[in-house]
Amino acid sequence: MPRTIDLPLLFTTIVLLLGGFLVLASASMVIAEKNFGSLTYYTARQLFLGGLLGAVACFIASRISYRVWRTWSPALMLIAFILLALLFVPSISYSVGGATRWLTIYGISFQPSEFLKFAFIIYLASWLDARRREAGTVSYGMIPFAIMLAIVSVFLAMQPDIGTLGIIALTALFLYFLGGGKVYQISTLAAFGVAVLYFLIQLAPYRLNRILVFLNPGTDPQGIGYQINQALIAIGSGGFWGLGFGKGLQKYHYLPEPMGDSIFAIYAEEMGLVGAFILIGAFLFFCMRGFLIAKKAPDQFGKLLAAGITVSITLQAFINMAAISGMLPLTGIPLPFVSYGGTSLAITLASVGVLLNISRYI
């Protein structure tokens, strides 16, 4: 008999969501005023196209038995691949910064890779649950898993969207380990992934530049090192308590992508070290509740699904914050619940809804 949803997880999600709207409102107001003559343009779009749609999706997902997703998993992956293939149709796709990651259908923009993250977690959880006895074998476990991950990787590398590919690959390896994969298999696949990453870096000089800047942030501060240097200035300027909400300076056309992957730097500038620790603490608590739900889930599918959703969201959050703080190479992935992006927010909230539904059965 289903019980009450996990209220601490729900409360944490609401705090992250509302806090994210406030941070976005401050980070985006300068660009919004310049481009559209309205300080709240991006915040309003995030609220209506991501927040409200995501809230409805979260509620519906929290009421649908998570076991239904196992039946739907092949259809979801098929839809995800169709959407990714449509990115190569020029009339309905568009590029930003040399990357083709968005579809525009009837005036509505959509990022298929965000849906892919959701669908692939569900599919892997279902696949590993069905093959729990063969997952640790090479022929029926490792090789089929590697083929699935390779297909997904090709679609993402062609956009290109290496940041999302990294999140999906790491989440998939984690799920494969939980589902019965051996340590040597995970190590082999990880080593192969590093080799592929090296190849991709050689294909695009800007990726190599990100590595060089990570190793030496002082490299070309007005060129390839500009974003990370401005981000570090923003974080350092915040000090312990921050400059105060709305009082940050780096969003005034100094820091690139202030409402995207750089938004944590704007937040740290205005809210300081204390605010940064509060946000990190919120994601850690979210992670803890998610893993608790996974641990107590009544079946293997529920455990894998809850763990996959939890890892995907929190891993993306910590990689984003670490990268913009200079602790990892820049990745270009958004900060969940905070960065501008309606598709990302809606899919993230839908994923939380699935996690909340699993919590009803523990």
Instruction: State the average pLDDT over residues 90-109.
Output: 79
- CA 178/CA 56 separation, integer angstroms: 31
* pLDDT over 70 (residue 2): no
pLDDT interval class at 162 (50, 70, 90): confident
Average pLDDT, the chain: 91
Q: Does position 73 have pLDDT exceeding 90, yes or no?
A: yes
Q: Is residue 354 one of the residues assigned to a domain?
A: yes
Which has more confidence, 97 or 172?
A: 172
Residues in the chain: 362
What would the mean pLDDT of 81-86 be, rounded to a whole number? Answer: 92
Residue 204 pLDDT > 80, yes or no? no
Asked if residue 221 is part of any domain, the answer here is yes
Q: How confident is the model at residue 287 (pLDDT cuts 50, 70, 90)?
A: very high
342 against 210, higher pLDDT: 342
Percentage of the chain beyond pLDDT 90 is: 70
Is the confidence at residue 203, as pLDDT, over 60? yes
Binning pLDDT at 50, 70 and 90, where does residue 220 land? low
Residue 138 falls inside a structural domain: yes
pLDDT tens digits, 50-64: 999 999 999 999 999
pLDDT digits (tens, 9 = 90+) for 176-196: 999 999 999 999 999 999 898
In-domain check, residue 236: yes
Whether 166 is in a domain gets the answer: yes
Q: Is 307 part of any domain?
A: yes
Name every residue whose Cβ is closer than 8 Å to that of residue 46 and which is 6 or more positions away in sequence: 21, 24, 340, 341, 342, 345
Burial 86-96 (b: 16+ CB within 10 A, else e): ebeeeeebeee
Q: Give residue 105's pLDDT.
A: 77
How far is 277 from 279, CA to CA, in rounded Å?
A: 5
Of residues 228 and 208, which shows the higher confidence score?
A: 228
What is the reported pLDDT for 6? Answer: 94
Tell me the residue range of the domain where 214 lies: 7-359
pLDDT digits (tens, 9 = 90+) for 11-50: 999 999 999 999 999 999 999 999 999 999 999 999 998 9
The number of folded domains in the chain is: 1
Residue 1: pLDDT above 70? no
Q: Has residue 58 been placed in a domain?
A: yes
Question: Per-residue pLDDT tens for 106-149?
Answer: 777 889 999 999 999 999 999 999 988 888 898 888 999 999 99
Q: What is the DSSP string of 111-175?
A: -HHHHHHHHHHHHHHHHHHHTTTTTTSIIIIIHHHHHHHHHHHHHHHTTT-HHHHHHHHHHHHHH
Asked whether residue 2 is domain-assigned, the answer is no
CB neighbourhood size of 5 (10 A):
18
Render pLDDT for 163-175 as a digit per residue (tens, 0 to 9): 899 999 999 999 9
